[in-house]
Amino acid sequence: MKKRGRYPKEFKVEAVRLLNEGIKRGSEIAMELGIKRTLLYRWKDQLESKGDKVFQGSGKPKKEQLSDLSRLRQELREVKEERDILKKAVVYFTKDPK
């Protein structure tokens, strides 16, 4: 089974622009881009209904977009994980080799 693709906002907007030009049919554009025709029309509907706020993504925000508190919490989690790994390494390397 094929994994679901993730496409950048620019790719989606350009695909919809090609569809709106009307030079080629939607199925031809979708085939050339390697996507399903229904996906192309879904992007068109989303772009028309949401305007500039479309395709924002639901992924993790970039580091500079995180608030100070959430950035510090993330950093604390990473440091705790590193500390725990080091504790286990100390125990492992200080065992008697009997």
Q: Is it the case that residue 59 has pLDDT exceeding 70?
A: no
Structure confidence at residue 1 (pLDDT):
43
Q: Is 15 exposed, middle or buried (0-12, 13-18, 19+ CB in 10 A)?
A: buried
Rounded average pLDDT over 54-68: 69
Both tokens assigned to 48: 């028309």
> The pTM is what?
0.54
Mean pLDDT on 56-84: 81
CB 40 within 8 A of CB 29: yes
Torsion of CA 55, 9, 58, 52, to 10 degrees: -30
- 47 is written with which tokens? 């772009």
Q: How confident is the model at residue 66 (pLDDT cuts 50, 70, 90)?
A: low
Q: Give mean pLDDT, residues 34-63.
A: 82
What CA–CA distance (Å, rounded) separates 59 from 61?
6
Domain ranges for the chain: 7-54, 65-98
